[in-house]
Structure 1
Amino acid sequence: MDGDLLLAAIIGVFAGIASGLLGIGGGILFVPALTLVLGLGTVEAEATSLLAIVPVALVGSWNQRRYGNIRVRDAGVIGLLSIGGAVAGVALANVLPEVALRIGFALLMLNLARQLVARGIRDRRARLAS
């Protein structure tokens, strides 16, 4: 196994564990790891992440369905409508400058961090009040 493949495997294992444990999207972990560790460009990292998340999503969904946590009809609607969004997103990613994609991804991560901190503060206050 060459070095890049080994690093990709390690990234996959840790991202899969975090994704299953925390319910976070794999792209949140895959894209930065692929750009920083493997040196992929933003578009390559995003495309690779999209393909890599397919087996993770299938396994996670299969297990969650066994627990009765999936609304199959809603998931089908979201999945079908997401196909058009994915096609539009790929087209947009291919015409935007890479720096715009990096800035957009960074803003997305900052907003996610803000939401997580706000939720943690809110939950802590609720626990202390009860």
Structure 2
Amino acid sequence: MSTQTILLAVGLGAAAGLLSGTFGVGGGILFVPTLVALGLGQVEAAATSLLAIVPTAGVGVWRQARFGNLRWRPALVVGVASIAGIEVGVQIATRLDEGLLRRLFGILLLVVAAQLAWRSRRIPRGYPEKR
């Protein structure tokens, strides 16, 4: 790895940590597109993102739990239920053409962005307990 790649990776990690702690996002939104831009294939970027988000998510969980923002039961149910989906997703990702996989990922990002934009116009401002 070159010095420039290492510096970019450190910057990416810092940005992911900042955004993960603030918004609860990270891996797919930040790591995958940046890793693809750094030269990894779509499948390798997704796999690398899955591993890289583990420490980021762990620290985020720890910090948010200290503020009383964590709901353990739903988080664990979603996490455990996703294991089967992950296995199926890996099988699909390794069989699809790289270009198609990249386009599908772009569509996913656009759908998520549209959903967030749509919901932001309907949700009252402030924290739930202040409504």
TM range (shorter): 0.7 to 0.9
Distance (Å, rounded) in 2 between the aligned partners of 1:74 and 1:112: 21
Q: Deviations over 1:36-60 (max 9, x none)?
A: 1x11110111011000000011011
1:29 aligns with 2:55: no
8 Å contact 1:16–1:26 — kept in the other structure? no
Distance (Å, rounded) in 1 between the aligned partners of 2:121 and 2:69: 27
Partner of 1:74: 74
Unaligned 5+ runs, structure 1: none
Compare the two structures and name the one with the higher helix fraction.
1
Partner of 1:99: 99
Unaligned 5+ runs, structure 2: 126-131
Q: By how many angstroms is 1:111 displaced? A: 0.9
8 Å contact 1:31–1:46 — kept in the other structure? yes
Partner of 1:44: 44
Q: Which amino acid is the alignment partner of residue 102 of structure 2? A: R
Question: What is the TM-score with the length of structure 2 in the denominator?
Answer: 0.83
Q: By how many angstroms is 1:6 displaced? A: 1.8
Aligned residues: percent identity?
Answer: 53
Question: What is the TM-score with the length of structure 1 in the denominator?
Answer: 0.84
1:54 aligns with 2:86: no
8 Å contact 1:27–1:53 — kept in the other structure? no
- Aligned pairs, number: 124
Q: Which moved more, 1:49-58 or 1:69-78?
A: 69-78
Q: Deviations over 1:27-76 (max 9, x none)?
A: 1111111111x111101110110000000110111111122222222222
Distance (Å, rounded) in 2 between the aligned partners of 1:76 and 1:23: 16
Partner of 1:83: 83
